[in-house]
Amino acid sequence: MKIRRLGAAVAAIGAGAIVLSGCSAPEAEDSGLDEGTSVSAAWNQAFYAYNGNTSYGNATANANIIYLTNPGFNYYNNVPELVTNDSFGTYELVSEDPLQVSYTIADGVEWSDGVPIDAADLLLSWAANSNAFNDPDFDPSEFQDPETGAITEDFPEDQVYFDGGGSGLDLVDEVPEISDDGKTVTLTYSKPYVDWETAFDIDLPAHVVAGEALGIDDPTEAKERLISAIQNNDAADLAPIANTWNTAFNFTEMPENEALVVSSGPYTIEEFVADQYITLRANENYTGDLQPNIEELTIRFIGDPLAAVTALENGEVDVISPQSTTDVVEALEAVDGVEIIKGLEGTYEHVDLQFDQSKSGHFDDQRIREAFLKTVPRQQIVETLIEPIIGDEAIVRNSQLFVPGAEGYDEAVAANGSDAYAEVDIEGAQALLAEAGVENPEVCILFDSENPRRVNEFAIIQESANQAGFNVTDCSDAGWGGLLGTPGAYDASLFGWQSTGLAVTEPRANYVPGGINNLNYYENEDVTALFDELETTFDEAEQRRILTEIDAHLWADAYGVTIFQFPSVTGVKDTITGVDPSILAPTIFWNAWDWELAE
């Protein structure tokens, strides 16, 4: 057994960690595919959506697969730094005033079904993620399944609504221009946008979306119809296109329609068995730089971390990165022929409170929110569950926006008001409940029922909060991710946000109305205005000032509490080389194309 420790690069995710220029990927080489080879990895949640840009599909379990099958113009390595993927396409800053960026698909790039990737795919991505065609007065929540959070079949057929949005594309008001050769689109922003370099990419094949939506078999005809619908704001076509984009790619087993798993990257989805595994195979039509060495990669869904260790020991999987506990680490250290990689992740644990449409309806009163947060024993959770794993690195995180150790973290903590929840205050909570005139208010907490650490956290929180007079109940579910944005499903949620990049505006989606990650219906006009200001601020000191102000608002509003930065423990069989986890999602999978069988 060999133990390796990740460095302290997690601090780079904090405020001011902005990347405006990247390094290039290696020059394309002949495929190094080792035919007939296979590797199996474990993940703690099952894949359920091939569109990760909807509020329903936006989860790490989906993002891992999408990353391996549909990489785009750039990605993050494990330094972390932004790497441009020129073999897929290039982008260029055409003008700073107004901000204009052009995106060009490289020659010969195709989807796995042989259809060329072109401007139609880019235009669909803009339409779906810019909110350009969405009615701001339309409320989709009444058309969401209360058990899964997915959009239901009774969604109005004539309603144009893309369940995407965010990443600055809402600043691109006009339909992007398409080049004469159909391979380039140019986006014009209404104002400068600091994270323009990571704002745009392709998510789904236009010919598949339009073909399914409009009943068109010919891919060229389907793309032409889609372009026309977007350029002419044709609601009759855009409504079914949007609904297909929102829902058709949600599946929990291999779909009968193989068009729904078309890919553009090094791997394609070959087999998918519900709640068991998904198998990826090297894409025969892929000609880019990210050529895989392993022909077949299977990702098994194992929610129980100790079961993942057992699977590794029994040879059922070769790579695991389970949510770590003391028991997991001890069990992993007892397995022969395994390298253990320890460190911190870019993920942080937190409790969020529902501001609107909560299960019990209590948290629309700030006094009750504050009272509950005063009972969350953050230090006890860290000392009990995290410190035994990583020792002195286990500390309470006291900022919603800054990572411990990042530039600006200490200053933010000193000013953001998080000290109000530094220690459990049962008497203070009781006084607030008395002032609010409520007795034994129920707080139903949503969390992953199959995650032992979350189960333990819930028990610790429940015991503490009940002492103050709360009635803390269990809303846990194995499908917790799909329920996060579902009205009335819970009162508080316990889960982790995983960083996917270094964009300074990345948190915006969590805290502004309509943001793809604003799953608790939080709204503060000052916070929204500050994020608007942040989008056009290129000075790093000013960025930190704005983020510190936002942080203070979140704590003052009793938005929720942060708890800890995730400890990371990865186990790799010595028969596999090239596994080198990143602190950013998709963590262990960021360079899966480099994995090889050891000689």
Domain boundaries, given as residue ranges, for the chain: 89-238, 345-566
Pairing between β-strand 74-76 and β-strand 82-84 as defined by DSSP bridges: antiparallel
pLDDT digits (tens, 9 = 90+) for 238-295: 999 999 999 999 999 999 999 999 999 999 999 999 999 999 999 999 999 999 999 9
49 burial via Cβ count (<10 Å: 0-12, 13-18, 19+): buried
- DSSP for 360-400? SSGGGSHHHHHHHHTT--HHHHIIIIIHHHHGGG--B---S
List of residues 6+ apart from 533 with CB closer than 8 A: 546
> Cα 486 to the chain's mean position, in Å?
17
Is the peptide bond between 586 and the residue preceding it cis, with omega within 30 degrees of 0? yes
Looking at domain 345-566, what is its CATH homologous superfamily? Answer: Dipeptide-binding Protein; Domain 3 (3.10.105.10)
Domains 89-238 and 345-566 share a fold: no
pLDDT digits (tens, 9 = 90+) for 342-391: 888 888 999 999 998 899 999 999 999 999 999 999 999 999 999 988 88
pLDDT digits (tens, 9 = 90+) for 490-512: 999 999 998 888 899 999 999 99
Question: How large is the angle between the packed helices 219-231 and 119-129, nearest 10 degrees?
Answer: 40
Distance separating alpha carbons of residues 69 and 267, to the nearest angstrom: 5
* Residue 24, pLDDT above cutoff 80: no
Task: Confirm or reject CATH 3.90.76.10 for domain 89-238, answering yes or no.
Answer: yes
pTM across the whole model: 0.86
Cβ-contact 291, 595 below 8 angstroms? no
Cβ-contact 551, 416 below 8 angstroms? yes
Within 10 Å of residue 202's Cβ, how many Cβ atoms?
21
The arithmetic mean of pLDDT across residues 479-483, rounded, is 87
Distance separating alpha carbons of residues 204 and 215, to the nearest angstrom: 17
* Residue 420, pLDDT above cutoff 80: yes
Measured at the CA of 90, the angle between CA 250 and CA 168, to 5 degrees, comes to 55
Read off the tokens for 174.
Answer: 């006009």
Read off the tokens for 547.
Answer: 């983020």
Q: How confident is the model at residue 14 (pLDDT cuts 50, 70, 90)?
A: low
Beta bridge partner(s), residue 342: 5, 569
In b/e form, how buried is each residue of 418-442, taking b as 16+ CB within 10 angstroms?
bebbeebbeebbbebbeebebeebe
- The DSSP call for residue 270 is E
Cβ-contact 85, 590 below 8 angstroms? no
* 141-145, 174-178, 367-371, 376-380: least confidently modelled range: 141-145
Using alpha carbons only, how large is the chain's radius of gyration in Å? 23
In b/e form, how buried is each residue of 369-396, taking b as 16+ CB within 10 angstroms?
bbbbbbbbbbbbbbeebbbbbbeebbeb
Portion of the chain with pLDDT greater than 90, in percent = 78
